[in-house]
Amino acid sequence: MDIEHIRKICVTGAGQMGAQIAIQAALSGFNVALHDVNAEQLEKAVSGNRKHLDRRVAKGKMAAEDVEAAFARLVPTTSLEEACRDADFVIEAVVEILDVKREVFQRLEKLCPTRAIFATNSSYLGNSELASATERPDRVVNMHFFYPPLVMKLVEVVKGEATSDATVALTAEVARRLGKQPVVLHKELPGFLVNRILRAITNEAYFLLENGVASFEDIDRACEMGLNHPLGPFKLGDFSGLDIGYEARLENFRKTGNPEDRPAASLERRVKRGDLGRKSGRGFYDYSTDPPSPTED
């Protein structure tokens, strides 16, 4: 199968990621079925997409006819059977629970044409864990988008133990057709590329802070002005939510038991106080001032 044979894309899971991936695919000219088990979630997905795209039309960034044409190509449904009918390519974006994803892949196997490729948008699970629930492991791949997928350009494509080179190449081409820039991982590795690099930088930033080498605001400045990062690691932590970073580190520490993986004390104290970053108004920085000011620990 080559890219010209991919006409219909099925996106299953219409949450934060799936909803925008689906409309991006429709805007790129594909026929799209957007599936979710929850009808309300589907309505939310459509109205959310409408809001985003109406804003782009109002700003003159997009033509109203193109947006209407995309909505005409997108069919929301709670029937997986209908969504899978004639699907050439499936993007799975359901909740990050292995058993749920494996069950979805088992159902996809039964309902989709044999030619269809199954791509998972999972943030952490390698596709091999899902491929074994199907009879087409050579056509199962990771296709990892970034939030918000209507805006973020990068897609990580990961080759699993059994993924064929043809599947990797075709998935990268689908990403390009969606207006994205694919990067290919030749092996499965937890965290893929971006989250591994981010974790390495963040771990070093906490090491420097906890050891009294520099203040967090100077570490942020160093990354912004010396490496040209748009946000230093502590500002980025505030932006994504300190609780998210804390929970991920705690989970990793529980797995490895390595004291070096324990969440940093300066992070833990803030999370326990409810200082979660921008969303709570205060994290490493205080967002009640303009510009935000560094907080005392």
Q: Which residues are identified as catalytic?
A: 123, 144, 156, 195
Pick from 1, 3, 28, 37: which binds ligand NAD (CB under 6 A)?
Answer: 37
Pair 267, 246: CB distance under 8 Å: yes
Count Cβ neighbours within 10 Å for each residue of 168-194 and write b for 16 or more, e otherwise: bebbbebbeebebebbbbeebeeebee
CB 269 within 8 A of CB 206: no
Dihedrals phi, psi of 161, to nearest 5 degrees = -55, -40
Q: Which stretch binds ligand NAD (CB under 6 A): 3-11, 127-135, 141-149, 173-181?
A: 141-149
Q: Is 14 in the site for ligand NAD (CB under 6 A)?
A: yes
| CB of residue 175 to ligand NAD, shortest distance in Å | 14
Instruction: With contacts defined by CB under 6 A, name the span among 16-24, 176-184, 251-259, 261-269 that binds ligand NAD.
Output: 16-24
Kindly write out the interface string for residues 48-87 of this chain, putting x where it contacts ligand NAD by CB under 6 A and - elsewhere. Answer: ----------------------------------------
Per CB under 6 A, does 13 bind ligand NAD? Answer: yes
**Of 38, 47, 256, 293, the one binding ligand NAD by CB under 6 A:** 38
H-assigned helices in 76-131 = 80-84, 98-111, 128-131
Element (H, E) at 208: helix 194-210
CB of 235 to ligand NAD, least distance (A): 18
Binding-residue pattern over the window 100 to 119 for ligand NAD, x denoting contact by CB under 6 A: x---x---------------
Identify the CA nearest to 10 among candidates 69, 83, 86: 83
Total residues contacting ligand NAD by CB under 6 A comes to 25
- 147 part of the interface to ligand NAD, by CB under 6 A: yes
Give the residue ranges of DSSP H helices in 38-144: 39-58, 64-73, 80-84, 98-111, 128-131
| Cα 181 to Cα 156: distance, rounded to the nearest angstrom | 9
Residue from 25, 93, 174, 264 that binds ligand NAD (CB under 6 A)?
93
Contact between 45 and 18 (Cβ < 8 Å): yes
User: Is residue 152 close enough to count as binding ligand NAD by CB under 6 A?
Assistant: no
**Bridge partner list, 143:** 157
**C-beta nearest to ligand NAD: residue:** 15
Indicate whether 122 belongs to the interface with ligand NAD (CB under 6 A): yes
**Hey, which residues does 132 pair with through a beta bridge?**
none
CA distance 32 to 222: 44
Is residue 24 within the footprint of ligand NAD (CB under 6 A)?
Answer: no
Q: How far is the CB of 83 from ligand NAD (least distance, A)?
A: 9
**Site residues for ligand NAD per CB under 6 A:** 12-18, 35-38, 41, 93-96, 100, 104, 121-123, 144-147
